[in-house]
Structure 1
Amino acid sequence: MNVTQICIGRFHHFHLARQLEKHGLLNRIYTGYPHFKLRDEVGIPRDKIRSFPWLHTPYMFRSRIGLGNFAMLNKWWYWAAHDSLDRFVASLLHAPGVLVSLSSTGLHAGTKIQRLGGVYICDRGSSHISYQDELLREEHARWGIPFAGIDKKIIHKEQLEYQQADAITVPSEFVRQSFVRQGISANKLYKVPYGARLERFSRTQHPPENRFRILWVGAVTIRKGFMYLLKAFQRFSHPNKELLVIGNISAEVKSLLNGESLEHVRFMGQVANASLPDIYSSSHVFVLSSIEEGLAMVQGEAMACGCPVIATQHTGAEDLITNGIEGFIVPIRSTEDILARIQQLADEPHLRNQLGENALEKVKSLGGWDQYGGQYIQVIKSLTID
């Protein structure tokens, strides 16, 4: 049994590739990333990483070459990068095996490997694409921000992939339920939660006692629900409060920030990964108020540094934390619930400390990417037993 992977970028697929290689199962991983962006991907032989960068790489750098604001061009470009990678891999498949492909890059290759007698697994990192599109349309409308929607060609292709695949792997219960609500059989769905790079993230210090620091790590976008946290922070009562924001701000959110009070908010942009353990460790709470995502790995990073998490039900948090034990799980779009939990942690330092300790213990028990790899390999074996 050999496993071929397709992933337009990196995401969690290179973690999976390392696990497959460790168990002698990896045939090759195909990606749209150029080789120079993959130099830090250790544990995978170089000859097993095949780059197909001709469309995706220039797409990644489109803003730098002055093409970032052409909506129709970028929509076509995004589609073409995904579909051409899929067709390229399909042209190279000549023997049965297992194909694990990130959604929107596997229809042609997956169908080909099935014709050869193999197995096609569609791996989806976010909620069902139709449900995702619905949520994002609703959210943009709430803020009065125009939204063209997810490309209909991408939606159609992913729906065909869901039907064609022998199995669909998802990272969280939130994502699994989104598929069930869209009519996909639960028997076709396999939940395999992501791991965390425990060797990279650990507690390096403790939060300062003379202030209360709230941390945000990730893109500052409509999808991530940043404005709900900001409005909760504005009402949060503390004599020395701070909201530390790490990540790039989208144009849509920038327009919403006009006229908002940003006192005690520090926008730091991108920071080096090596700095993140210190930042997580020195924060009193990490907040992720996303409207939609599969399983945000930043939650595990924060936990590994002893930082409690407040996250919405649409972040995969329920597969990482127990509400009230390692942090809190709140409904989406609820400024009130975010505010209440932040205030509770500030007013009850002993509770905050206990949640931080619990988070440390919980993330250790999750087993990092080794456990993820083990579970994924079990899924593969269950689909390939004669």
Structure 2
Amino acid sequence: MKVTQITPGRFHHFHLARQMQKHGLLDKIFTGYPKFKLKDESGIPLEKIKTFPWVQTPYMKRSLLGLDKYDKINKEWIWLLVQTLDKYAAKSIKTRGVLTALSSNGLHSGRKMQSLGGIYICDRGSSHISFQNEILANEYERWGFKWIGIDERILEKEQEEYLLADYITIPSQFVMDSFIQKGIDKNKLKKIPYGARLDRFKKIGDPVKNKFRVLWVGGVSLRKGFMYALNAFKEFKHPNKEFIVIGHVSREIKSLIERENLENVIFKGIVANSQLLEYYSCSDVFLLTSLEEGLAMVQGEALACGCPIIATPNTGSQDLITNDKEGFIVPIRNSNSIIDCFQKIVDSPNLRNEMSYNALEKVQSLGGWDTYGENYKSLIELAIKESHLSL
């Protein structure tokens, strides 16, 4: 039995597709990305990439058209995206196999695959969608913003997928706990942590002496808890500190930092992957304070470059590091805990070097995307065995 995948963007699904191809299991991968944007996706035959770019591509370019500020338009756009890609894939599925679809993109295609006697795996990259909606609503309220909420149609669709799916793949214990809290049967949940691109990320330098550099890579948003990170950096006492922020800054954060003292905070915007190696390698610590996500892959990138991590458990960090060994795990919404971690690194000259060494050891033991592929292959074999089907 072959594997069909559905994903509107790249996310981790193209890493999975490479692994499925490597194991001789990939049938095709449906995506909203245009094919010309996927030429660098080596290891996947182009004929196995089925694109449906008519909704996703203009959505990606909406900021250039000045449409990204219209919440109602974006809401309808996202709903159209998840429905059209899902239905397009459903019409294309003709034979029994294994379907793994990114959540909210697999209800129709999952039903189609099951009607043919196949297996449907819902792949969820973040916490349970209701948990996600609730924690973000609370966070927006804390900072004085209105949370428009996840589209009720998508909330309903995803939760139908959770019930319909034979299995739900998730990347971290944090995500698993959110599903169990919402009443999903633990036996349906299969935790498969993501890997890191060990071929792309490696240690190429060391931090500058007599300077304390904190690095942020990823979306700069309320969801990522950026203001707690910024407040910790501002309150931390050090004569030569620097906060490098790489990533797109959300509207909410832009409005909040207008009133902030941003001395020694350097916003770099979007930076190419090829340049991230130097930032990771030459920073004293990588900081990620998310309120909610699945398993932030930037953490694996930092580890692969020997950069210790300070992260909340809601980033999936507990599936990557051990507290006080490769970095620190701190509570959400807690700037004081972050400051304490900064101080420990500064007060112990050898601690950063020890953590850097441990980070390199740990990321090698995690095995990169090959381990992820092996684990996913094992799940597929288990699913087929339990369904009394054959490969």
TM-score range, shorter chain: over 0.9
Q: 1:118 matched to which residue of 2?
A: 118
Structure 1 position 238, deviation (Å):
1.0
Q: How does 1:294-309 map to 2 (within 5 A)?
A: 294-309=294-309
Q: 2:369 matched to which residue of 1?
A: 369
Distance 1:320 1:209 in 2: 28
Partner letter of residue 116 of structure 2? L
Structure 1 position 348, deviation (Å):
1.2
Q: How does 1:70-85 map to 2 (within 5 A)?
A: 70-85=70-85
Q: How does 1:3-82 map to 2 (within 5 A)?
A: 3-82=3-82
Q: How does 1:1-386 map to 2 (within 5 A)?
A: 1-385=1-385, 386=388
Structure 1 position 255, deviation (Å):
0.6
Distance 2:258 2:65 in 1: 28
Partner letter of residue 317 of structure 1? S
What SS does the aligned partner of 2:76 have? helix
Distance 2:279 2:63 in 1: 29
Partner letter of residue 176 of structure 1? M
Structure 1 position 355, deviation (Å):
0.7
Partner letter of residue 250 of structure 2? S
Distance 2:62 2:270 in 1: 19
Structure 1 position 66, deviation (Å):
2.6
- Which runs of 5 or more residues in structure 1 are unaligned? none
Structure 1 position 342, deviation (Å):
1.1
Distance 2:217 2:70 in 1: 28
Partner letter of residue 218 of structure 1? G
Distance 2:156 2:78 in 1: 14
Partner letter of residue 179 of structure 1? F
Structure 1 position 69, deviation (Å):
2.0
Cα offsets for 1:127-176 (capped at 9, x unmatched): 00000000100000010011101111110000000000000000000001
Q: Write out the 4+ residue segments of structure 1 that deviate beyond 6 Å after TM superposition.
A: none
What SS does the aligned partner of 1:57 have? helix
Distance 1:109 1:82 in 2: 11
Structure 1 position 74, deviation (Å):
1.1
**Superposition RMSD in Å:** 0.7
Partner letter of residue 121 of structure 1? I
Cα offsets for 1:316-370 (capped at 9, x unmatched): 0000000111000011001111111111111112111101110010001110000
**Count of aligned residue pairs for this structure pair:** 386
Distance 1:153 1:342 in 2: 43
Distance 2:286 2:65 in 1: 35
What SS does the aligned partner of 2:209 have? coil
Name the TM-score, length of structure 1 as normaliser.
0.99
What SS does the aligned partner of 2:378 have? helix
Structure 1 position 205, deviation (Å):
0.6
Name the TM-score, length of structure 2 as normaliser.
0.98
Partner letter of residue 147 of structure 2? F
Distance 1:115 1:271 in 2: 45
Structure 1 position 290, deviation (Å):
0.5
Cα offsets for 1:252-290 (capped at 9, x unmatched): 001110221111111111111101111100000000000
What SS does the aligned partner of 1:144 have? coil
Distance 2:66 2:283 in 1: 38
Distance 1:342 1:161 in 2: 42
Distance 2:258 2:62 in 1: 27
Structure 1 position 36, deviation (Å):
1.5
Structure 1 position 39, deviation (Å):
1.2
Partner letter of residue 217 of structure 1? V
Partner letter of residue 220 of structure 1? V
What SS does the aligned partner of 1:55 have? helix
Partner letter of residue 165 of structure 2? A
Distance 1:227 1:70 in 2: 24
What SS does the aligned partner of 2:147 have? coil
Partner letter of residue 24 of structure 2? G
Partner letter of residue 4 of structure 1? T
Distance 1:182 1:214 in 2: 36
